Amino acid sequence: MVAGLPTGSCREKRRRVSASMPLGDLADSVVGSRPLNKQPFLIAGSLEDELLNQGWPAGRRIGGEAVLAERYGVGRDVFREVVRLLEARDHARMRRGPHGGLEVVLPDLGELIARLAGYAYVSDMDRSSIIETWILLQSVGIRLIDGVQDIDRQHLGRVLQEACPLGARAVGEAIIAASGNRMLAVLGDLIGALLPPFADEGLPAGAGSMIAQAASGFEMLDWIRTVQRASLVSQLDTHPSDRKVAPPSIPQSSCFKGQAMQLVHDLMSATTPERWTKGELIGNEFDLADRMGVDKSIVRQAIRLMEDAETATALPGRGRGLVTRSPSTAPLSRLLCAYFVAHGGTVADGESLFVALRIECVGAAAERTDAEDRVTLLAMTRELDELKAPLPVSTLQEYERLQQRAAHNDLLGLSIDGVKAFLTWKMPSCPVVSADVLYTYCTHTRRVVTAICEGDRMAAIEAEATKLKELPQQP
């Protein structure tokens, strides 16, 4: 059996899962999250689940330290760890004083951008993947523009013609803004912040005129995928120093001013991404406290924060300690979901954005899939034959993620997972897959996988579009 696919007993266990599973568990299956089985992480996750269910009541105070510690049956020292996790995620802060308590925070986009920059740095991300994601977001924007009748493409072209200089950033921002999708605008701000400096330089002459004269979205997509992509790739080749993401500056908000977060930033900045991704032992509590000149309690807090971000793992035992790791996109996906909920993202925007992202994702997968991907995907289609309805929709999430991974674009995967998790939290209950829906899902998924494995981009896009149209509107 191919690694990563559910096997025998595991599949049977999934089929017996109750249809009344919490939405939080479904959201975790969407983003691929595996919460650490430690009290602070579990309690922080439970509190965030409540906030998401309540629509993120920013400004509300939900109880003092002693009251909340008693509610969860833990000591105040454990609950202080919970508070530090929530503060580091920019989700809550503890207000001191007679009228204090744990206050829900409205997540800030700047801090989410800083998180993404840190992820890109420790992951040793090449900016070619960032450029590719920027191209894909513009393609998504064009698809959304084509789906709305009152958007004037001629006006968009005139705006671009007047822009000076007309760089890749300006083009992308204009297209994303013209789509009218606020959630896509957030993704544009996130990915745009990672673009290399030359993204502001001029594109080939006549770009604005071409878009103004485009008779269809297809022509615009073709220009973005050929002319703009070629220009950016060419500039990347002539700016080798811009290929990697630089260590991000620490944000200036209050939650980042604590010693533990400063220590996390210092450790990340002092270790090269090449070493970080190889799983390097950077010391135990005693070593780090001595080397960094801080108390062991600060080191312990920093370790919790790095575990939460999946940038390091604490291995117990003599001769072990904090080991670096390449993080998944799961922690960021959940932060993105919370941001969408907290800032009033709409289901309509989420659904249209999800469809366009998925279509672009399978197109990218058809272009980038390798031999190992094909083996995995074909094995996946054989497993689909063994699924029996009714079953919770979370069972299908692993199969969706396998198709997503074939695109080899973590930033695109992050975007999809954040939107899917948002849509999950907007559901009244966890959906159950009926026999009819399962048959539709399996039939169309086989067609999508076949096109991906054959490297047929247009066929994959058409198959995914049909699949999403035929299935009920659910993640």
How much is the pLDDT for 247? 76
Amino acid 47 reads: L
Residue of 453, 6, 226 lying closest to 445 (CA atoms)? 453
Q: Are 468 and 355 within 8 A, CB to CB?
A: yes
Indicate the pLDDT class of residue 214, thresholds 50, 70 and 90: low
Q: What is the CATH number of domain 35-107?
A: 1.10.10.10
pLDDT tens-digit map of 424-456: 988 877 788 899 999 999 999 999 999 999 999
Indicate the pLDDT class of residue 86, thresholds 50, 70 and 90: very high
**Yes or no: is domain 8-27+331-470 CATH 1.20.120.530?**
yes
> Averaging pLDDT over each range in 129-138, 148-157, 238-247, 275-284, which range is the top one?
129-138
Rg (CA), the chain: 23
Please state, rounded to an integer, the average pLDDT across all residues of the chain: 85
Find out whether the peptide bond into 165 is cis, omega within 30 degrees of 0: yes
Task: Show the tokens assigned to 336.
Answer: 């993105």
DSSP conformation letters of 270-284: HS-HHHHTT--EEE-
Indicate the pLDDT class of residue 270, thresholds 50, 70 and 90: confident
pLDDT tens-digit map of 151-184: 556 666 666 666 556 788 888 898 898 889 999 9
Q: What is the CATH number of domain 247-325?
A: 1.10.10.10
Indicate the pLDDT class of residue 97, thresholds 50, 70 and 90: confident
Q: Is the pLDDT of residue 309 over 90?
A: yes
Separation between Cα atoms, residue 190 and residue 111, nearest integer Å? 10
Q: Is the pLDDT of residue 18 over 50?
A: no
Q: Are 445 and 381 within 8 A, CB to CB?
A: yes
pLDDT tens-digit map of 42-65: 999 999 999 999 999 999 999 999
How many CB atoms lie under 10 A from the CB of residue 457? Answer: 16
How much is the pLDDT for 198? 87
Cα 140-141-144 angle, rounded to 5 deg: 90
Indicate the pLDDT class of residue 193, thresholds 50, 70 and 90: very high
Q: Is the pLDDT of residue 12 over 80?
A: no
Task: Show the tokens assigned to 176.
Answer: 């994303």
SS3 330: helix
Domain boundaries, the chain: 8-27+331-470, 35-107, 126-242, 247-325
| Residue with more model confidence, 397 or 216 | 397
Confirm whether 35-107 and 247-325 share one CATH topology.
yes
| Residue with more model confidence, 239 or 193 | 193
Amino acid 318 reads: R
Indicate the pLDDT class of residue 244, thresholds 50, 70 and 90: confident
Amino acid 382 reads: R
pLDDT tens-digit map of 313-329: 988 877 688 999 999 99
Indicate the pLDDT class of residue 3, thresholds 50, 70 and 90: very low
How much is the pLDDT for 142? 87
Alpha carbon distances (Å) from 167 to 187, 198, 232: 19, 8, 10
Indicate the pLDDT class of residue 4, thresholds 50, 70 and 90: very low
| Residue with more model confidence, 305 or 253 | 305
Separation between Cα atoms, residue 388 and residue 16, nearest integer Å? 11
How many CB atoms lie under 10 A from the CB of residue 278? Answer: 13
